[in-house]
Structure 1
């Protein structure tokens, strides 16, 4: 089970491989004699790890012969360093086979050293033999034989030494090979970790921990007893459980407790993930951040499947990744679990577009993965985002009743804590009871309000003040915030500092520390250098000066945030009254101001020594890294020479992003002063990182430090971080919606391919980004035909501003649709119910009766009717839309048939079913008023009338309405698989519709279509609808009605073939003929179809009822 715990404050440091190697070899040399060191220098370069090992073995041999102590006890330290160095040499092994020759050359050298004495002995013997020959020829043969014998003994001895030496070498080589393989595994592990960090580095746990700290003991437990939660958790209920509540009702704390509950009880093969949207962290407000974080949490970094690693690698290499790609990856991950939990808090804090993207993703996942369980806690406003979605959902409301016990406990604990800290003092002990009762009575289900009410009470200096506060408690949160601002004003001191603080806290991309905030509020736009004399004193009192509208996190260093998202909403709202308006924060204006401050700060003269044109990334050969480190030691120069020799043969260079960090350990870094700068300038890190995100809306005419900004964009500062490369500026600025950079890239950067610009323009237009579209249109000359093709896509999305922009550059509102499933702009807008876009297109001359395409096409009116958009329908009818025009050739439905069909509302959230259906009925009424033909059918041979369609889908209210308008209840079924209204209702098992049609005079025994037709009873029997079968038999349906001519079935044959044993029994009881002949073409008897499909119990029933068993064999 995954453990959720705060990270340790300490972390181990990685050893330096080069330094370790240097120390180990110095240690090794210290025990050598002068003669051995001389031999080391004369033997040649130590080329690799095996050279060191072989030389060590040689010294061990000589020391043993000389009786000196061995050196093998020092070998392990050397080998550990060699392991870190082996990867450098190993890089070249595959492409430089001469390395093997060097290794074996070392072996040969060692063997020669060991056999030197024997060689000298043999040479001496040879001299003696020559002398003996001159003295005694007679003894020559004898001496020669003796010499040969000695040579054989010496060779045997040497071979024995060699056989002893080789196994040891093989062992050493195997050990080095294993170390190399371990290094490869380590590198692969590091690469996987890098991929996961690239996937998501968002710190999702911090807001969760903060919420856990706020929970009082035994609170937020009530939800586990709620039936909706139990069904959600065990998978028997809908996949989405939505917990809704008002501001400050403790939703975040509740969600944190649910997270703990899920992790505590989930199964071994279940996966649990969570995400807490933090309004003070801009990154967490993005749908992509949420989805990527969920994916990251679900992946075990120790066991990343090959397929998943490959997908992550491809996405990591991509320049631009659409959100759909991340959703597709999440879908794959979800499907690997038995149960997959996604718990999200605070979605209401996100913008509408981001919420829409999240819910689109969740809807798609829920539709394709039955194991998915989603928990969302948010304000009631999310209800608008959930309407009309096919996302199965149950809802739990944080009502006052369910929270009352939690709030009582919270009040008791909070008051006791204030009393212990002497923030609250009572002279009269009974006053505690009065305060408790008053807070409980006024809490209104909001923990946040209780907190501020206690602050109000604590402000009293005596019992009288406290009782006065109880009588004048604010009526709601807004009044509470107003009182807090009035108290700030009444003190007069620190008002300007509080204003500046509110501005920075409201727009900061991440919460600022006290030191960062202290420096940020002291800077003015255009300032040339730091001014320490302007830094405010006692910044740790800022909470007191802000009347607790801010709070400090428990992190180290502490960060400054609003006490609650509702405080930020209040401060940024444009409705602050009178004198309080000076505290108002305009987010767009303040964000621009923050960008100017960051750019100003990065150009301080304090940093002059570090300002220089940014150099290209250092391109290094990996071996160069080893040379840099090893060459610092004189005794390692030989190794450095050999490595350099290898490096000179390798022409391909590679960039090492970590080189500056490694090099710094050897005193090579040119940025040593950065750490000192950071300590003396706390705001530097924030400004260097976030200057880009605060300058999204910069424009030359509205920015007094425009030229300084251009210098940063051009890479002329070594301090400012640039998150793009030169070739990727256009794509990066487009993806992040950085409009200033997008305009800069299109105006001043390299020329881009028109196809690339069109692609990016299409993305911006279809997501409704009118600001980006305006930039593209003002900087690029486009083809009108391209704008024509783009207009329907934009209209379908309801992006009225972008529609105006495209029409403004000449796009044709009547541009022809694609022949296959194409739409005109007006048809697309009507299908989405976008009345504002419809108005613009009609104003631009769009033809309301443009003909449909051949395949799957609809007129504008039909598209609006199909989705039940009454206002759009009325506007089109007023504009002259033909209510009886047919759809594409494939269906040929009329508007009335479309709306009757679209009443099919399976999957719509239950809370909205009545409202949606009511809207469809109003559309039906409006079409009938406009003289729509209630009895028109679709295709000549297989079409359905509006009444037949409504009956088929079981829409009783639509059926009632159509019958009241005079629709023919007995309109004939179409020849090819057609159905009468009664047959259609019976085929779906809609008993109430069947009753209504029969009451209206429907013919219970009307014949079915010629091809595969069914009577009402045959249709109900085929579907197994026993209640409908009983009802039809009760009103005189013929149990043995003749089947259709082509592939027809009797009622008994239909029930038998489908395996509906209860219906079979009911039909036999009603006198069904068990041996009725099959239809002339393609028919089967009841016994045959039951036998063929393996319904053995039905076969037994039929045989018992007298079925001819010969039929079963035919």
Structure 2
């Protein structure tokens, strides 16, 4: 009889199908059972060998399922086989397909932790926190390190050579042909994934067949959800999968992990939906068992022997779990996790806010000690700072009057209050948007307190654990939730006028919300800006204005005097005059008299005086000082030596019109480009001393640290007024043409293209970015510049011809050079896909359409490009690419050349109209509809589609597009996509105004669909009182069933404690004792949520406390 001590691998199955599959992969089967079995062990075992490992296989008793039974089998196995050191749970499970995981029937899912979360997610045990996703409280052990290492090794082997799972299964059938009937692979036509919607008849998701280069079955690695329940609900599946990044559902693993630390291997036999059947169970069990055998063959027996016995690990884990649970009760599991430095770094990487401290520190260094006291000691600032309720202060002044340095002074003064602050910055595109301002403020808030971190963690979790970016609206909601609970808050925003003009209205509305909403009782907001009409108009519309200060010359005269005196008496640039005090006095007197409250003017004049080497030149310069900043900049440009002019103009063009500052090394290569030369770029022509780059236009350009690490150096314009002057049309006539936008961008595009054409093909991405630092910038921005130039007819003829020639060379069909740069930076995927040359292939027409290059598109079409060809990119074809990016002229051209306006293509969007509608491109939507686009196409390409064009626009709050589509006859009640219908799309994403528009245009308020089942449930779950009221007035059924988790609107409102919604529903006929959902009744839900007020309300309205209600979680 076999000795139980000889067996080191334990293999557990749940059902007989899995048990048979496991037995078939034994290399040899040992006759008889163990010679000694524990008296309490009721398990039946199969013993054998795989490779050099002795394996014991057990299964759950017939008819028993779930975590408890699995735990019992594992416990008894370890009693009888105390030498087991490696555990496997092998069998079948329900798959969770998603955009990131193309899971098919027969595929294998292997348990693996992700984002710091355990490989097995026990969703029977957890807690609900208002406004946050489900939080697990059960703590599960991880499999031994040996198994995790072997999994990684096998994954690498499969990636290099592919697997032989299908061949291994066929060998089993050769030995046991009778197994084929139940265990062979079913016909691929039976692998059907249905949309999780209420539409009838069910719709099948269209998925491309796997190619010969792809593994089939595929192996997936990720989190597995486990609980004592069979999941047959696609909506629940997708919701939990999205929140917790789940790949598979099963019923036993959670019962094993703390009693039998093991690797979980599941073959996918269904999709955890209502279409569940047993057709694929046999084959799925075989693929899982085949993978398990391959895994064991990766592990040398001596390594298994070196592992601790599982029975010893379990006893240690039990003690550790008890200790951890004690710590949780004391400190709180969520806070403890979020406090870790790793988690904070992960959240920060996801949020990716720009760093305003760089601006703050830079301005603080430039500040002269003692300046700003006129503000800090004044009544207005003191009143704003100490007022016992919310307060607002607007400081405005001309460009160059020292507002940014004043902001840094204010922030320093408020340092003990931990102020929030942001500097809008014309030279950095990342610091010109309202959304990035909110991101930066949230980051500052979450470093101020642990409780603030919970709100950010909630936002992170609700966006696929950081795999999806939050909308600007959800960021604002998170910000407001945090400041609502933080108490008194001080916020300083500098240079509102440097925020993108199209975003200022949203910014001003946000500022007004802070002031007027009673929830934010004590927020002190201070902003600075130039005087501009839209800013003044927005501020004057505020319901109350506490303080405004206009920076006039007399107010800051003392600050200017202090600065001038410091430069003259202590600065190195004018130290030559220290031996003659009367000339120092002369400089101070003249500069101060003519300053006119303009700090920037003072700085420029003192810089200019530093080059005066003798008394005569100094006196002459003081006599001829320019009067205005325009005069200052005009004189500076005139004095640029002729030998420097070409490069100076290039540098100023790029800095005035680029989306971001340029690195010094980028500018060095840019100035070395010769668009008329051969070659176009020669590394030998780089400046020998990069530090001299500022000499080309020194007083107009400054060098600044590139980021927090300060390792690199960027060049940027010295002040916003420089950019304003260069782009205003006020530049002198001889160089004016160089700074007109069309001419400048055509020139910039040509320089980028010449550089790219010289580098050619065959250079790896890493070599490109390392040896040619301008390459990545060119790849990112050349199309932006070229599209502007191609879109207009006023471009200089020579520049335009050069642009055409260079573009044709880049898109030449024989060289396909454009692919090198598409893969270095793909506009398809924003700022991802760097360094992947050769990995992606798209057509020239697709790439040109994506970039909005109307002339290039026309040229490619005239050369025979197929207007309807699939481009292989993110958007599928040229029309959808142009539509998604809002290139109306390209869309118009493609349509005129016969593009199929209703073609189904792309990885996410179903058609051109849907992509344009979702992104809010009004003119493109109008063109597509007017040219025959099916306005009501349901959008069924993927189960994660946003559905019809109206649903897509509603989901993303595109009000103007929604209005347009409704005016063109869009059906408000089409059922499709992940939201079900347009009304649900608007409600789930919090777009109240769009929801009102849809209801006003005939949306069915009782239509079923989407994650929350129906509109009233959604409004109740999201605490949208006015919308709930509107829906009820339009006939919404207050007792409708169907919502995820809570079944009905009353229970959804009760679990979160939304007393006003609860009362509204009851007043309008909601059944106070309606049953269903996770908690059974509204009363049980309110008790579970600990909302005493709602409990009392429900009892007063007749709730019965003795109903046999469920209480699952």
TM-score of the superposed pair, with normalisation by structure 1: 0.47
Would you tell me which structure has more helix in proportion to its own residues?
1
The structure having more radius of gyration, on CA atoms, is: 1
Would you tell me which structure has more strand in proportion to its own residues?
2
Higher RCO (CA < 8 A, seq sep 6+): 2
TM-score of the superposed pair, with normalisation by structure 2: 0.47
